[in-house]
A and B are shown apart, each in its own frame.
Chain A
């Protein structure tokens, strides 16, 4: 169902939702929130990357990964390594026993940069690594698991184990990774300071831009044939397999895609918050990322963004006023979303708000396109925000 032109798409229901999100993030929030809160929103948006990835691999393809924190963390660490090397120039670190290497390496008596740090002196390599390293790991895991038809709960547990392993490794090897403190004290990106207020605003908009890029990539994947196959796989895997498709390849692809998104989110997080630590890689953080997706609506990529924003906003709000209630609220959220509204907010939206919209939208559509039979007309049919799908055009 190709739309005939971008302008027509913007007038369609789906386009309006995207436009709405853009207006919210680009115009409304920067105007009504103060700098501090806006920086927080920027941080929440980085989690949205992970949530969008999870919509693709969990909502559509049925692969629940409880270790997305691993990919988020890997992307974040790649960026952090680059920033740390920049902040550890020989001038800045003149008081160390070995100038030119990060401070935590100096405390651990390392005298030269470990080999895997050296390439991160280059910004272009770092950018590649932010997407490449998570994707590589996802590829390896996916290859090992999906070709052997491991799925479901087993896969989820194994992703947890991987999160646990990586956490222990990073915390233990503090000479190489900064250990439990993570990589801190990041100052400039290619000479441009990331700590000033102006920088934070710029980074916020960069984050919004990247998020939309990822949203469009996700939308492209899901609306294409690939997306259809993923949904089919989720519903009836054996039938898809018998139809001749290489199920494993598709699963690996979508898992790598989710990993790439998470990696980008991690890198943007490091830039905005100014440090990266192993606490994001662990089991608890990874499972929290799933709830953003679940709340927003596991089948809706826009819903995932809203879910990430809302849950994190609630977390900040609760912890300011009623910190002891937050774990109760979050636990209740997990249970409630799973039991009561498994398709999240998007599902609720679908059930309650769409019928209202329909009345308004149909009237506008009837006025705007009286000539619906013409071949150049929009054949997209009704947009379903819960599943981001289009139902067939009703004649």
Chain B
């Protein structure tokens, strides 16, 4: 299958495929980071994660419309505002949900699964009622469309680069937050030994709420980023759920690094296989391999050793 291509073409094949893999990697990272924080901190799987992402996407849509109608001159920069808004809106909703629902269920992780699934149904139908069942198109500013022509054959799409930059910034920002800040110290303390953390005066309930809100906020930013590459409709969140969970679980749920490594592995495997096989088979084989590895090593790639 490599016949007919010159060696320079082959180089560009690999370069572009590598970029495609990196693109997929950053998408997975964005999707999974929000969930990892929540799962790692509280052992809560948020089945409504996809819907929070879509909330971020809808926020972007509304911001885009607002800028187009009232501030057309500033349209080029609206996306940054949209991302900030998406973060705030989703974080606020996350905090509310945590206060109303999640905090009653910490000792019952399986029940949070069900409760957040119910939440996702509510959110989906709310989107359908407010925005209609049809998907909405989000207009992008000019500078975000198109590609960089690195060479004649190698073209890097701008929005792919943009998603990568966002993913990288969030990952770095999160790392700094978790390992270099006071808040991060408290979070790690609560994860490792909640009673002891409370005994030294850390408000674990507040930390939980803040962490859940943070996770949801990141989901919102991810959703904003995805308006560039995906659809925005009431049930669009469902498309991301299974992949996100697998990335998180595969990486060892309480480890940020684990999530990143797992996202890298899965994305590279999938995009490489997609190139050689058809899309469906690549997906099935990737899923099977991940499930198989999980069966052999169920705690994921990098699990924290935590005394429970």
Contacts and interface: CB of A to CB of B under 8 A. Distances in A.
B249 A158 contact: yes
A199 B112 CA distance: 43
Nearest to B279: A172
Contacts of A330: 118, 121
Given A153-B109, A157-B249, A331 B122 contact: yes
B295 A145 contact: yes
B121 A291 contact: no
Nearest to B295: A144
Contacts of B291: 158, 161-162, 165
Given A165-B284, A331-B119, A342 B242 contact: no
B101 A335 contact: yes
A127 interface: no
Nearest to B111: A338
A306 B249 CA distance: 35
A155 to B, nearest CB: 8
A164 B291 CA distance: 11
A192 interface: no
A3 to B, nearest CB: 34
Given A165-B291, A332-B118, A335-B115, A152 B109 contact: yes
A164 B280 CA distance: 12
A291 B245 contact: no
B295 A339 contact: no
Contacts of A294: 114
Contacts of B245: 157, 160-161
A169 interface: yes
A247 interface: no
B115 A338 contact: yes
Contact of B122 (A160, A287, A291, A328): A328
A392 B169 CA distance: 62
Interface string A128-159: 00000000000001001100111011101110
Interface string A315-356: 000000000100110111111011100100000000000000
B203 interface: no
Contacts of A157: 45, 245-246, 249
A48 interface: no
| Interface residue SS majority, chain B | helix
B166 interface: no
Contacts of A158: 249, 291, 294-295
Contacts of B128: 324, 327
B120 interface: yes
B105 interface: yes
A156 B242 CA distance: 12
Given A148-B295, A327-B125, A153 B114 contact: no
Nearest to B235: A284
A83 interface: no
Contacts of B111: 338, 342
Given A165-B284, A283-B242, A327-B125, A338 B105 contact: yes
A308 interface: no
Contacts of B241: 283
A335 B48 CA distance: 12
A161 B242 CA distance: 6
A344 B107 CA distance: 18
Interface of B: 39, 43, 45, 101, 104-105, 108-115, 117-122, 124-125, 128-129, 238, 241-242, 245-246, 249, 280-281, 283-284, 287-288, 290-291, 294-296, 298-299
Given A161-B242, A338-B114, A339-B115, 10 more contacts: A58-B110, A144-B296, A157-B245, A164-B242, A164-B287, A165-B287, A168-B283, A327-B121, A330-B118, A331-B118
Which 6 A/B pairs are nearest by Cβ-Cβ distance? A334-B118, A331-B121, A331-B122, A327-B125, A150-B298, A144-B295
Interface of A: 58, 62, 64, 66, 141, 144-145, 148-150, 152-154, 156-158, 160-162, 164-165, 168-169, 172, 283-284, 287, 290-291, 294, 324, 327-328, 330-335, 337-339, 342
28 contacts: A141-B295, A148-B295, A148-B298, A150-B295, A152-B110, A156-B110, A157-B45, A161-B242, A164-B287, A165-B291, A168-B283, A172-B284, A284-B238, A291-B114, A294-B114, A324-B128, A324-B129, A327-B125, A327-B128, A328-B122, A331-B120, A331-B122, A332-B118, A334-B114, A334-B121, A335-B122, A339-B115, A342-B108
